[in-house]
Amino acid sequence: MKFAILVNEGPFNHQAADSAYRFARAALDKGHEVLRVFFYYDGVLNGNKHSAPPSDDRNIVARWSKLAADHSVDLAVCVAAGLRRGITEEVLAPGFRITGLGQLVESAIDADRTIVFGD
Amino acid sequence: MSDEPEAAVVKRFLYVNRKAPHGTVYALEVLEMVLIAAMFDQDVHVAFIDDGVYQVKKGQTPGALEMKDFSKTYRALEGYGVEKLFVEQESLTERGLTQDDLLVPAEVISRAQMATLMNSMDVVLSA
């Protein structure tokens, strides 16, 4: 099955970022396809390379980057939501890219299921 | 060979608004998603449930909060081809509101009908 994933919450503040990651990982492990993970609202903060959690905590941003490296998952950060929150090209972690909301609609059209993680 | 362009995929999108217009950014940024989906010529539906019904309540003056009064945008949705607006009856009643309090022409439907509506969609995005 082809999935599109929407992440609406920032890392650490809300479980949505963790759940979205675990869902994506589980789907890929089962042989499904993840067309795109789209980051909206505070979700754009998942792409901030300056995030530096304590070493005994999970590193949410690095985890996404590794997912992108391992499975070529497209990590798409909304430009408008990003600009509001200071997330621009210069601060993006590896594997993330800045794009428009149109790419969310496009992946929802192409996917069999669109799954939203948020409050 | 036909010169006709391949028929574009049109999916049924439902945007579900569950939160008050101010206090969090959710309502404002849902509007941005709705407008983009309309630009992609999708079959866009917008629903208001729970505190989301306050988003389409008349007489909002959020200026004192230094917030834009984006409630005007709901009235402009029609111009973008977004005309399918649904408000849940129970959510209105629970908050002492009626259809007369709404600033847009919307179809007021029951919670059970809302469930049926959601079930009929290809894509449901909520915030």
3-state secondary structure (DSSP) of residue B6? coil
Chain B: nearest CA to A55, how far in angstroms? Answer: 31
What was the pLDDT predicted at B54?
98
Q: Which residue of A has its CA nearest to B8?
A: A109
Share of chain B above pLDDT 70, in %: 94
Q: In this complex, do B32 and A114 lie within 8 Å of one another by their Cβ atoms?
A: no
In this prediction, the residues of chain A whose per-residue pLDDT falls under 50 are: none
Structural domains in chain B plus CATH codes: 12-126 (3.40.1260.10)
What was the pLDDT predicted at B6?
53
What was the pLDDT predicted at B8?
85
Q: In this complex, do A105 and B36 lie within 8 Å of one another by their Cβ atoms?
A: yes
Cα gap B107→B73, rounded to integer Å: 18
Average pLDDT of chain A, as a whole number: 97
Cα gap A10→A118, rounded to integer Å: 9
Chain B: nearest CA to A119, how far in angstroms? Answer: 7
Cα gap A79→A43, rounded to integer Å: 12
Q: In this complex, do B126 and A80 lie within 8 Å of one another by their Cβ atoms?
A: no
- Can you give the residue ranges of every domain in chain A? 2-117
Topology of the domain covering A2-117? Hypothetical Protein Ychn; Chain: A, (3.40.1260)
Task: Check if A65 is active-site.
Answer: no
Which amino acid is present at B38?
Answer: A
Cα gap B91→B97, rounded to integer Å: 8
pLDDT above 70 (res B4): no
Per-residue pLDDT band for B2 (boundaries 50, 70, 90) equals very low
Cα gap A106→A100, rounded to integer Å: 10
Q: Which of B36, B50, B121 to mutate to test the interface with A (most CBs of A within 10 A)?
A: B36
Q: What is the DSSP letter of B41?
A: T
Determine which one of A76, A78, A81, A87 is catalytic.
Answer: A78
Overall average pLDDT of the B9-26 stretch:
96
Per-residue pLDDT band for B1 (boundaries 50, 70, 90) equals very low
Average pLDDT of chain B, as a whole number: 94
Question: Looking at beta carbons, which residues of chain A come within 8 Å of B13?
Answer: 105, 108
pLDDT digits (tens, 9 = 90+) for B57-89: 999 999 999 999 999 999 999 999 999 999 999
Check if B115 contacts A (Cβ < 8 Å). no
Q: Which of B33, B122, B127 shows the shortest C-beta gap to A104?
A: B33
What was the pLDDT predicted at B69?
94
pLDDT above 70 (res B95): yes
